[in-house]
Chain A
Amino acid sequence: MTSTTIRPAEPSAGLEERLGRIWETAPGLLGVLGTVDHKTIGKRYLVTAFLFLILGGLEASAMRLQLAGPERHLLGPEQYNQLFTMHGVTMIFLYASPILSGFSNFLWPLLLGSRDMAFPRLNALSYWVFLFAGLFLYSSFLVGQAPDRGWFAYVPLTEGTYAPGLNMDFYALGLILLTVSTTVGAINFIVTAFTMRAPGMSVNRLPIFMWGTLTTSFSVLFALPALTAACVFLYFDRRFGMHFFDPAAGGHPLLWQHLFWIFGHPWVYIIVLPAMGMVSDYLPVFCRRPLVGYTFVALATVSTGILGFGVWAHHMFATGLPPLSTTFFSAASMVITLPSAVAVFAWIATIWYGRPVVRTPFLFAAGFVVLFVIGGVSGVATAAVPFDWQLTDTYFVVAHLHYVLIGINLFAVIGAFYFWLPKMTGRMLSERLGRWNFWVMFVGFNLAFLPMHLTGLMGMPRRIYTYPAGLGWDTLNLITTIGSFVFALGLLLFLVNVWWSRRNGAVAGPNPWDAPTLEWSIPSPPPPYNFTVIPTVESRHPLWEVELGEGARSRLDVGPTLDTGRETLGTSALDAEPEQVLRMPEDSLWPLLLGLSLTVTAYGLLTGAWWMAAAGAALSAVAVTGWLWP
Chain B
Amino acid sequence: MTAPAIDAPQTLPVELQDRRAPAWWGVVCLIATEAALFAYFLFGYFYLGSIARGAWPPHGPPELRLALPNTLVLLASSGTMWWAESAIRRGNQARLRAGLGLTIALGAVFLGVQMVEYHNSDFGPRTGAYGSLFYTITGFHGAHVAVGLLMLLVVTARAWLGHFAAGRHLAVTNTAWYWHFVDLVWLAVFTSLYLSPRLAG
Give a binary string over B1-41; 1 marks a CB under 8 Å from any A CB, 0 the rest.
Answer: 10110111111111111001010011001101110110111
Identify which of B9, B13, B30, B163 contacts A580 (C-beta below 8 A). B13
* A242 interface residue per 8 A CB criterion: yes
List the B residue with the shortest CB-CB distance to A227.
B40
The CA-CA distance from A223 to B39 in the complex, in Å, is 11
Q: Measured between alpha carbons, how far is A167 from B54 in the docked complex, in Å?
A: 34
A202 touching B1 in the complex, CB below 8 Å, given contacts A226-B40, A258-B47: yes
What is the chain A residue whose CB lies nearest that of B38? A225
**A194 contacts the other chain (CB 8 A):** yes
Number of interface residues of B (CB under 8 A): 54
Contact of A572 among B20, B26, B43 (CB under 8 A): B20
Q: Is B11's CB under 8 angstroms from A4's CB?
A: yes
Chain A residue with the shortest CB-CB distance to B51: A252
Decide if B14 touches A1 in the complex (CB within 8 Å). yes
In whole angstroms, what is the CA distance A222 to B38 when docked?
Answer: 11
Bound-state Cα–Cα, A156 to B41, Å: 19
**Min distance, Cβ B140 to any Cβ of chain A, angstroms:** 8
Q: Which residue of B lies closest to A560 (CB)?
A: B6
Cα(A251)–Cα(B7), bound, Å? 67
Give the one of A3, A191, A224, A625 with max B CB within 10 A.
A191
Distance in Å from the Cβ of B129 to the closest Cβ of chain A? 4
Query: Binary interface profile of A, 238-266, with partner B (CB < 8 Å = 1, else 0)?
Result: 00111110100111100100110010000
Q: A579 interface residue, CB < 8 Å from B?
A: yes
Chain B residues contacting A195 (CB-CB under 8 Å) are 20, 22, 25
Question: B58 contacts the other chain (Cβ, under 8 Å)?
Answer: yes
Binds A, one of B82-90, B130-138, B183-191, B192-200: B130-138
Identify B12's interface contact among A241, A262, A578, A630, CB under 8 A: A578
Tell me whether chain A's interface is mostly helix, strand or loop, or mixed.
mixed
Inter-chain contacts of A621 with B (CB < 8 A): 150
The answer to whether the Cβ of A485 comes within 8 Å of any Cβ in the partner chain is no
Q: Which residues of A contact B69 (CB under 8 A)?
A: none
Q: Which residue of A lies closest to B36 (CB)?
A: A225
Does B95 reach chain A (CB closer than 8 Å)? no
Query: Does B48 interact with chain A (Cβ within 8 Å)?
Result: yes
How far is B45's CA from A259's CA once the two chains are assembled, in angstroms?
12
A99 and B147 CA atoms in complex are apart in Å by 32
Whether B128 lies near A243 (C-beta < 8 A) is yes
Interface range on chain A (Cβ under 8 Å from partner):
35 or more
A422 within 8 A of B: no
| Cβ-defined contact, B43 with A583, below 8 A | no
Which chain A positions have C-beta within 8 A of B17? 1
A393: interface (CB < 8 Å):
no
Does B44 count as interface, using CB distance less than 8 angstroms? Answer: yes
Q: Does A538 contact B (CB under 8 A)?
A: yes
Are B136 and A570 interface neighbours, CB within 8 A?
no
Kindly state whether residue B52 has any CB partner on chain A within 8 Å. Answer: yes
Bound-complex Cα distance A519 to B1 (A): 24
Q: Is there an interface contact between A628 and B167, defined as CB atoms closer than 8 Å?
A: no
Question: Once the chains bind, are A580 and B44 in contact (CB under 8 Å)?
Answer: no
Specify the chain A residue showing the minimal Cβ separation from B37.
A225
Is B171 within 8 A of A1, CB to CB? no
Given contacts A1-B17, A191-B22, A560-B6, contact A246 B129 (CB under 8 A): yes
Extra inter-chain contacts (4) besides given A8-B9, A221-B33, A579-B20, CB under 8 Å: A202-B1, A225-B36, A230-B40, A255-B48
**Would you list the 4 A-B pairs with minimal beta carbon distance, nearest first?**
A250-B129, A225-B37, A242-B132, A251-B129
Give 22 CB contacts A-B under 8 Å.
A1-B15, A7-B9, A118-B25, A191-B25, A196-B22, A200-B1, A200-B3, A221-B36, A225-B33, A225-B36, A229-B40, A229-B44, A243-B126, A243-B128, A249-B128, A250-B48, A536-B6, A578-B10, A579-B16, A580-B12, A628-B171, A629-B154
